[in-house]
Amino acid sequence: MEEFAYIHVTREDRIAILTIDRPRANSLSRQALTELDAAFVQVAADPLVKVIIITGAGSLFSAGADIAEIGEFMGYADAKAMAEHGQAVLNRIESADKPVIAAINGRFALGGGNELAMACHLRIAEEGARLGQTEIRLGLIPGWGGTQRLPRLVGEGRALELMLTGEQIDATEAHRIGLVNRVVPAGQALATARALAQTIAQWSAPALAAILESTRRGRDVTVAEGLSGEAEAFARICETEDKREGISAFLQKRPPHFQDR
């Protein structure tokens, strides 16, 4: 297993946890972002891993891109490459066929940190956490998907207000507008994410992947096209061994024992 300088990888009971651990607020430098991508590829390909959690070390999730590195950019080409690199990493996370949970711990998930959380399928935030797209305060705009994912999660009007003002909102407001799924007491984000991951991991991997795929594909097509894709995925899942096991277990009034095939 490859070792990384800024990303810690742990595996436990069908769950992989990727922890960002880098000085200066767990910021994602080019190296840290590359390591996150490599670590994610590893755990996503592991057949023993069914759910992935991304969190931050210490007292915060991530401040996003390394501002000092951005300050070093001299022109259009470097800046575009940096944005496309981050987008590619976050797109890989969002398009994974295994559920990904962001455990937003500690004080904040801002800028690229919030963009990383939004690329995950589910988000757990601690009460003291603050979230936002604060790039405007630096004379910048979101570059890792914020202008695309935030409106889809909270609506265009609220998303524009957050991006145009650079406002930081607390976890309670983030939950109210649909940016996070759950708010938990301080220090409980990772434990809650683990419990949620364990619940999800007991189910059939092909069915989990099909739900993610159908939801993702339906996002940018008509309802009719989305329903057609859902029907195809439903039919495909009905041919799996896990479907037969699930139906048998239900009829026999016993817990199912899925084999992920």
Q: Over the stretch 105-137, which tens digit does the pLDDT of each residue have?
A: 988 899 999 999 999 999 999 998 999 999 999
Exposed/middle/buried for 77, CB within 10 Å: 0-12, 13-18, 19+? Answer: exposed
| Alpha carbon 243 to its chain's center | 27
**Boundary of a domain, candidates 175, 201, 227:** 201
- How far apart CA 192 and CA 144 sit, in angstroms, is 27
Mean pLDDT, residues 234-241: 96
Report the pLDDT value the prediction gives residue 1, as an integer from 0 to 100.
62
Report the pLDDT value the prediction gives residue 3, as an integer from 0 to 100.
85
- How far apart CA 70 and CA 90 sit, in angstroms, is 18
- How far apart CA 130 and CA 109 sit, in angstroms, is 6
**Boundary of a domain, candidates 201, 218, 238:** 201
Active-site positions read 115, 135
Which pair of tokens denotes residue 44? 């996503």
How much is the CA Rg of the chain, to the nearest whole Å? 19
| Residue located via tokens 């619940």 | 199
Instruction: Assess contact for 54 and 116: CB atoms under 8 A.
Output: yes
Report the pLDDT value the prediction gives residue 149, as an integer from 0 to 100.
97
- What's the Cα-to-Cα distance from 218 to each of 147, 213, 234, rounded to whole Å? 19, 8, 14
Report the pLDDT value the prediction gives residue 210, as an integer from 0 to 100.
97
**Do 118 and 34 share a domain, yes or no?**
yes
Per-residue pLDDT reduced to its tens digit, 150-168: 999 999 999 999 999 999 9
- How far apart CA 197 and CA 9 sit, in angstroms, is 16
Q: Domain total for the chain?
A: 2
pLDDT-above-70 percentage for the chain: 99
**Do 116 and 179 share a domain, yes or no?**
yes
**Do 119 and 229 share a domain, yes or no?**
no
Exposed/middle/buried for 220, CB within 10 Å: 0-12, 13-18, 19+? Answer: exposed
Report the pLDDT value the prediction gives residue 24, as an integer from 0 to 100.
82
Report the pLDDT value the prediction gives residue 2, as an integer from 0 to 100.
75
- Domain coverage including residue 220: 205-252
**Do 182 and 221 share a domain, yes or no?**
no
**Do 144 and 47 share a domain, yes or no?**
yes
Instruction: Assess contact for 63 and 129: CB atoms under 8 A.
Output: no
Q: Does some domain include residue 2? A: no
**Do 22 and 128 share a domain, yes or no?**
yes
Q: Is the pLDDT of residue 46 over 90?
A: yes
Q: What is the CATH number for 157? A: 3.90.226.10
What is the rounded average pLDDT for all residues in the chain?
Answer: 95
Mean pLDDT, residues 173-199: 97
- How far apart CA 107 and CA 71 sit, in angstroms, is 24
**Do 106 and 193 share a domain, yes or no?**
yes
Per-residue pLDDT reduced to its tens digit, 197-220: 999 999 999 999 999 999 999 998
The residues that bridge with 6 in the sheet, in sequence order, are none
The pTM of the full predicted model, rounded to 2 decimals, is 0.95
**Do 109 and 70 share a domain, yes or no?**
yes
**Do 30 and 95 share a domain, yes or no?**
yes
Exposed/middle/buried for 252, CB within 10 Å: 0-12, 13-18, 19+? Answer: exposed
75 pLDDT band, cuts 50/70/90, is confident
Q: Does some domain include residue 112? A: yes
Nearest by Cα to 57 from 105, 120, 15, 110: 105
Residue 82 per-residue DSSP state = H
The SS3 assignment for 27 reads coil
The residues that bridge with 64 in the sheet, in sequence order, are none
| Alpha carbon 91 to its chain's center | 10
Q: Does some domain include residue 222? A: yes
Q: Does some domain include residue 82? A: yes
